[in-house]
Amino acid sequence: MKVSIRFFASLKEALKKDQIELEIPDSIKTIGDLKGFLSKQDAISTEVFGAHKNIRAAQDLEMVSMDTAIRDGAEIAFFPPVTGG
């Protein structure tokens, strides 16, 4: 399955990229699976996407939970939680 992944705010800064196109393995079914997969790519990704990190996600411009199934061809966005002030 092929997806487009966008990174925002501190994630974008840490990864030094704002978007990637990725062919993900068939074993990656949910947004949480994808987060776990990304966390294993390299040391920086482990720091950014590690299990202890609170990260929000959207799929095709709609906020989703980590249990949401990934759709083929989807645009998935990851970003840190936002607080108001």
Query: Angle at CA 84, nearest 5°, toward 55 and 62?
Result: 45
Answer whether residue 85 is part of any domain: no
Q: In this predicted model, which residue has the larger pLDDT, 24 or 85?
A: 24
pTM listed for this prediction: 0.91
Q: Does the structure show a pLDDT above 80 at 82?
A: no
Q: Does the structure show a pLDDT above 60 at 59?
A: yes
d(CA 80, CA 56): 6
Answer whether residue 23 is part of any domain: yes
d(CA 34, CA 70): 9
Answer whether residue 84 is part of any domain: no
Which residues constitute the domain of residue 14?
A: 2-79
Q: Token match 């993900």: residue?
A: 24
Dihedral pair phi/psi, residue 75, rounded to 5°: -100, 120
> Half-sphere exposure of residue 1, counting CA atoms within 13 Å on the CB side?
19
Answer whether residue 9 is part of any domain: yes
d(CA 30, CA 32): 5
CATH code at position 29? 3.10.20.30
Answer whether residue 65 is part of any domain: yes
Answer whether residue 37 is part of any domain: yes
Averaged pLDDT of the chain: 93
- Total domains, the chain: 1
